[in-house]
Amino acid sequence: MNCFELSTFRQQFPLLSIQVHQKPLIYFDNAATTQKPQSVIDTYQQYYSSYNANVHRASHALSASATEAFELARLKVKRFINSKSIEEIIWTKGTTEGFNLIAQTWGISQLQSGDVIVLSYSEHHANIVPWQMLAKKTGAVIKILPLTSEGKIDENSLDKVITTATRIVSVAHVSNVLGRINPIKKIIERAKAVGAITIIDGAQAIAHQRIDVQALGCDFYLFSAHKMFGPTGIGVLYGRKELLNSMPPYQGGGEMIKKVSFFEETTFNDLPFKFEPGTPNIAGVLSFSTAIDFLQQHLGDEMLNYENQLLDYCFKRLSEIKALKFVISGKPDIPLFSFTVLGHHNHDIAAALDSFGIAVRSGHHCAMPLMSYLKISGCLRVSLTAYNTVEEVDFFVESLDEILTDDYSDKVHEQAMDVNNELGQAENNIISLFKKVKGWDGKHREIMMLGKTLIRLPKEKRTDQSLISGCESLAWLTCYKDTNRQYIFSADSDAKVIRGLLVIILAAFDHKTAEQIIDFDTDAYFQDLGLMQHLSPSRGNGVYAIVAKIRAMVDLLG
């Protein structure tokens, strides 16, 4: 029997009780990965502490226990998505590997020059790049289904795009950016009418609705455990048995064979083992099994109704913010909202929200073609699930309002400073400033204020040559050597937070000789500032990318 009670449900996720930057965590990045209940974490640990052994291959008690639990997990997945046979459930590392498996097996063996692969503009890179690689190898052609103004695949385009030349139709059940449920059944019907196979990306749908692959009638359905309260590194490829039997193996190794010989033809194992070479992610599979139990316990009408209430409320509150613009019109079908904020770079907003303890996603969300289609460079994404609360939505909206009304240009440093002062003093002044600031919210504010002091580069100097590779926002750097053999740097970025970080970095390197730049201890400088532990991995990598660009320029100029 399904039962959903919010406080009981939420209490099962230990990470939701932590603090980030001395603030209670509000986790609104569930489309990227969901948090894990304690039962899933316990199963992972229990496997390694109680019956760690390889599956299928040994004749001892530990292996028998592990194998039994491993195959029971497969049976649970079969029942969870209502596949016809347990042999149709293939373990993968995740949705991405599922696409690559199909492309490199069915695709390589079946496609010829001129065959058509149909995708849509709203696909994740995982459902684009494998097909591009396949098309390059086989001479196949990719055609794209357009979207409606509300972000769904346009049903009126199906007959025109999906033709008798089409061999593959591969689309998302729900877009990871737009949160819209696509007309999957109609797409599948049209593909069947022309003899094409259908591949459905279920990564975003699987935790928000009941999935019945037989009712859908698709040929393949792919999803990942980590987006449905399970562990990372494990996913499922459902495929119709007849198709899987016709496909060559994806990789070679142990377990996927019947007989190997140097003198006779090697023969392959039966389904599903033909596609599962080597030692699998056993702990991941068993933890995934627990996640399915957990989700089935709660995934009833009450939970889905609560998610819809949360969706309605968040959409209403976000709609009240005048500077906010949704990337498509109308309310999404799952609690996933993508938007831009007038006059603000999405990375700046995400960094500011992080200082409040709020985790959201910014960028292109592994959907660059969709960003181009929407004529934007990126956006913010807020994605909720059933452990989120109305109170969290309210705090998020209030925090966003505070960020938007906080005019950094009117703020004054407690102690005036000139970061472009005499040689050797700039970095000391920066360190002195940051040592006086407590907490990430204060340091973030100082970074944003420092960004105001950066003299912007003229557009003609923002070139491919001056572009800093590895920085998550667009950033540029130029330099020249003066008569004293000191290097003078100029820099810019489309994100305010990166401009502030550029000021901090240039304070350490500007007006210095090549020897001083090479000998400067960057790690010690960043440690004194107390910044790196607060920056996201991608932004931290971007900081070091800026340093690498500086040193490369110095090396080039000699």
- The CATH number assigned to the domain holding 72 equals 3.40.640.10
Residues 508-531, mean pLDDT to the nearest whole number? 89
Residues 160-171, mean pLDDT to the nearest whole number? 98
435 inside domain = yes
Q: How confident is the model at residue 258 (pLDDT cuts 50, 70, 90)?
A: confident
Task: Report the Cα–Cα distance between both ends of the chain, in Å, rounded.
Answer: 72
Residue 278 gets the label, from left (phi > 0), alpha (psi -120 to 50) or beta, of left
Other residues' Cβ atoms within 10 Å of the Cβ of residue 444: 24
Residues 428 and 360 in one domain: no
- ∠ CA(375), CA(114), CA(156), 5° rounding? 50
With a pLDDT cut of 90, the percent of the chain lying above it is 75
Q: What is the average pLDDT score of the chain? A: 91
Please name the residue ranges forming H helices in 5-140.
Answer: 6-11, 38-50, 61-81, 95-102, 108-110, 129-138
CA dist 327 and 339 (Å) reads 5
- The strand pairing partners of 286, in sequence order, are none
Residues 206 and 61 in one domain: yes
Could you give the 3-state DSSP secondary structure of residue 114?
A: coil
365 inside domain = yes
CA dist 80 and 212 (Å) reads 8
Residues 285 and 304 in one domain: no
For residue 444, what pLDDT is reported? 83
CA dist 106 and 92 (Å) reads 16
Residues 259 and 288 in one domain: yes
Determine phi and psi for 344, rounding to 5 degrees: -135, 135
CA dist 40 and 297 (Å) reads 13
For residue 59, what pLDDT is reported? 83
Q: How confident is the model at residue 415 (pLDDT cuts 50, 70, 90)?
A: very low
For residue 540, what pLDDT is reported? 83
Residues 167 and 200 in one domain: yes
- The strand pairing partners of 169, in sequence order, are 118, 198
Whether the pLDDT of residue 435 is over 80: the answer is: no
Residues 53 and 115 in one domain: yes
Domain of residue 545, CATH code: 3.90.1010.10
Q: How confident is the model at residue 323 (pLDDT cuts 50, 70, 90)?
A: very high
Full-model pTM = 0.84
Higher pLDDT, 481 or 188: 188
Q: How confident is the model at residue 452 (pLDDT cuts 50, 70, 90)?
A: confident
With a pLDDT cut of 70, the percent of the chain lying above it is 96
Whether the pLDDT of residue 167 is over 70: the answer is: yes
Report the number of secondary-structure helices (H) and strands (E) in the chain. Answer: 21, 19
Which domain does 344 fall in, by range? 7-30+300-405
Q: Which of these ranges, 65-74, 382-391, 423-432, has the smallest mean pLDDT?
A: 423-432
For residue 425, what pLDDT is reported? 60
Residues 231 and 84 in one domain: yes
Could you give the 3-state DSSP secondary structure of residue 397?
A: helix
Number of domains composing the chain: 3
328 inside domain = yes
How many whole angstroms from its chain centre is CA 383? 12
Whether the pLDDT of residue 408 is over 50: the answer is: no
CA dist 278 and 257 (Å) reads 10
Whether the pLDDT of residue 406 is over 70: the answer is: no
Residues 270-279, mean pLDDT to the nearest whole number? 93
Residues 258 and 117 in one domain: yes
Q: Which of 20-24, 94-98, 492-496 has the highest mean pLDDT?
A: 94-98
Using the 3D structure, point to which of 252, 281, 296 is the last residue of a domain. Answer: 296
123 inside domain = yes
Residues 278-294, mean pLDDT to the nearest whole number? 96
DSSP state of 456: P
172 inside domain = yes
Residues 135-143, mean pLDDT to the nearest whole number? 98
Which of 112, 495, 176, 533 has its CA nearest to residue 361?
Answer: 176
Residues 72-78, mean pLDDT to the nearest whole number? 98
For residue 398, what pLDDT is reported? 96
CA dihedral 163, 165, 170, 176 (to 10 degrees): -60
Residues 106-131, mean pLDDT to the nearest whole number? 98
CA dist 471 and 409 (Å) reads 25
Peptide bond into 280 cis (omega under 30): no
Residues with a catalytic annotation lie at: 366
Residues 530-548, mean pLDDT to the nearest whole number? 83
Residues 431 and 530 in one domain: yes
Q: How confident is the model at residue 58 (pLDDT cuts 50, 70, 90)?
A: confident
Using the 3D structure, point to which of 244, 261, 296 is the last residue of a domain. Answer: 296
CA dist 280 and 518 (Å) reads 46
Residues 317-335, mean pLDDT to the nearest whole number? 96
Other residues' Cβ atoms within 10 Å of the Cβ of residue 123: 26
74 inside domain = yes
Whether the pLDDT of residue 385 is over 70: the answer is: yes
For residue 2, what pLDDT is reported? 61
DSSP state of 103: I
187 inside domain = yes
1 inside domain = no
DSSP state of 476: E
Residues 401 and 462 in one domain: no
Using the 3D structure, point to which of 275, 296, 317 is the last residue of a domain. Answer: 296
